[in-house]
Structure 1
Amino acid sequence: MPLLSRLTKCVEALASRRIGRLLLAVWLSYGLPAAHETARADDAALEYQVKAAFIYNFIAFTQWPSHTDPVMNLCLYGEDYFGHEIDKLQNKAVGTQSIRVSRINNPEQLDQCQAIFFTKSVNDNLTELMRHLTGKPILTLADSPSAVSKGITINMSLVNEKVVFEINLGIARKTGLDISSKLLQLAVKVHQ
């Protein structure tokens, strides 16, 4: 008798008895969270894989004033939810430049970046961090609620299992960044 059939018969037998139902409930309650956590981890990995691709396109569709360095510094600030997904952008070409991915822990180093992704872990300090970057031609990115109102240029959200984004065009213009009209058309909201 195949293993699956035997397991099914055991579960049915246990379920028919009162103590068996209790054991079955305990077994399922311990077995399902692990499966649920695995599914959630897979979903998070896919989410950040997609967000890394969005970040590449945000950089590709943005022009910086007089930035001629052959390297485009993309910095990650805060807890790293990307894992190796963001590292796939390392050395990837954007026009005549290549991307260098750096993880930054010191806020004093942020002005060395041309693009910064602020993770959810720093959302409470975002307003203060943005104050230090005011007027500097840095593309600021996040995926935190209300990040645009705290001074972030482009904020991503997960809505119905789709990554969407909003753009603070007023901030981009104040910092001298030129965001492509193609990118603006794809945004769910553009703040002036």
Structure 2
Amino acid sequence: MRFNRTLRSFTVLGSLVLAVIARPSNAQVDEAMLSAAYIYNFTQFTTWPTGGLADSKLVVCANGESALGIALASLNGKIVSGRAWTFGSLSHGDGPSGCNVVLVEEGKPLSKQTREVLNSDRPVLVISNSTLDTQDTVIRLVTDGNHLRFDINNREAARRHLSLSSKLLQLARTVL
């Protein structure tokens, strides 16, 4: 009998200690998957000019070896405005010809062909997660504390003949 009371006391004490020591933990979200989800949603709120997209696919290009590139590739086959999401890798110096979306990643070298696309006025949605000021970027993903935010350069979108939804513009941290 006395043993049972002692056991219960230790059990209650142990539970209290665990409750004090244990901290509530927030579910961790994979940053690459979260960024890929943002990019997927950006494409849903972007309108390309007539003839700016292939009939059956939306080609999204990024470094296929990066975590974000892998996350974007995992979206293959998803439908965006009636077109199938198709991932194109920019790894190993492959050029972005035929890309509708180009992701410029922090610390990843750009091929000559990618630089040419960035400097052109082709209807390509250029997205960057670089902290460097990239004037050819339409949307820049920014990590702000524990939050992922984005800035929009609407002038660059217009130069590229892209139209961004007013809903997307309202959600942006800043719009130029």
Calculate the TM-score normalised by the size of structure 1.
0.68
CA-CA distance at 1:130 after TM superposition: 4.1
User: Do structure 1's residue 157 and structure 2's residue 142 form an aligned pair?
Assistant: yes
Matched residue, 1:179: 164
Q: In structure 2, what is the equivalent of residue 48 of structure 1?
A: 32
Quote the RMSD (CA, aligned, Å): 2.6
The letter of the residue matching 1:160 is G
| Unaligned ranges ≥5, structure 2 | 1-26
Residue of structure 1 in register with 2:5 after alignment: none
Question: Residue 106 and residue 174 in structure 1: after superposition, are their counterparts in 2 closer, same or farther (change >3 A)?
Answer: farther
| Higher alpha-carbon deviation: 179-188 or 62-71 | 62-71
Q: Could you list the runs of 4 or more consecutive aligned residues of structure 1 that deviate by over 6 angstroms after TM superposition? A: none
- The one-letter code matched in structure 1 to 2:56 is P
Percent identical residues? 27
Shift of 1:126: 9.0
Q: How does 1:76-155 map to 2 (within 5 A)?
A: 76-77=62-63, 80-82=66-68, 84-105=70-91, 109-122=95-108, 129-133=114-118, 134-147=120-133, 149-155=134-140
| Secondary structure, counterpart of 1:120 in structure 2 | coil
Cα separation, 2, equivalents of 1:126 and 1:180:
30
Corresponding residue number in structure 2 for 1:39: none
- Hey, what's the Cα distance between the residues in 2 that align with 1:52 and 1:65? 23
Aligned length: 147
Where does residue 59 of structure 1 map in the other structure? Answer: 43
More helix by share: 1
Report the TM-score when normalising by structure 2: 0.73
